[in-house]
Amino acid sequence: MTSRTRTFLAALAVATLPSVDAIAAAQSADEIIAKSLAAKGGVQKLRAVESVKTTGRIKTPRGDLPVTNWTKRPNLKRQEMTIEGATQVVAYDGTTLWGVNPKMGATPQVITGAMAERNRADADDFDSVLLDYKEKGTTIELVPAAAGTKSGPHLRVTRKNGSIQDVFLNPDTFLEERIATTVEQGGQKVVIATELLDYKSVDGVMVPFRIRQVVDGKPQGEVTYTQVQFNLPIGDELFKMPK
């Protein structure tokens, strides 16, 4: 074998192997994900949660209102909010998003459009996006921190359908503290961020008791929970639109 042939084969071998930096980054991302899941209570405890009921209050332009949420595997959800003594309902049964708006009467209505698509995507997020992400067809990469910054780990999550989320972890606890995604609204791209605050332990699982939504840097709403309950016996009929 000539020296030229050996040089060519060596170059080919290097070109076909992943770089050392790529391998290290992948390992670091998995290590960070493992730390985050452990900080939340561990994989087994997270997988064991079948339903969640939260009770609290939500800040809206109409004031500080009582709100109750139910979620259940795999993708069922219902929210009830009391406004001026009347109950507003938004629910998803795994196929149809529907709601009851007291100002429009007591008859349940199917909800369509962008709101339906966002709620459908949210319902599919029963678990943290980090849990069992490979089995879901999701890829996660570690985004390098800017020079001189002391921010926590930044993970870029790309789902099987191509949608992208940026997950920012607390540098000390490794708990999720901000999740951001870019969406189109009115023909313009906006960044919708969810800030997760005031974590407390519930049955050994760390849960954010305050959640704030921010759109393009401007606060849009905030929920504060007074109670979070896991694995209550919740029937599927709670999520279905009444006939």
Domains and CATH numbers, the chain: 18-73+126-238 (2.50.20.10)
Q: What is the pLDDT of residue 22?
A: 46
Q: What is the pLDDT of residue 12?
A: 37
Residue 160 has pLDDT above 70, yes or no: yes
Q: What is the pLDDT of residue 27?
A: 53
Nearest-5° Cα angle at 186, 183 to 189: 35
Distance between CA atoms of residues 121 and 205, nearest Å: 23
Residue 177 has pLDDT above 80, yes or no: yes
- Split at pLDDT 50, 70, 90, the class of 9 is very low
Q: What is the pLDDT of residues 92-106, one digit of tens each?
A: 999 899 999 988 888
Range of weakest confidence among 18-22, 36-40, 170-174, 209-213: 18-22
Residue 34 has pLDDT above 80, yes or no: yes
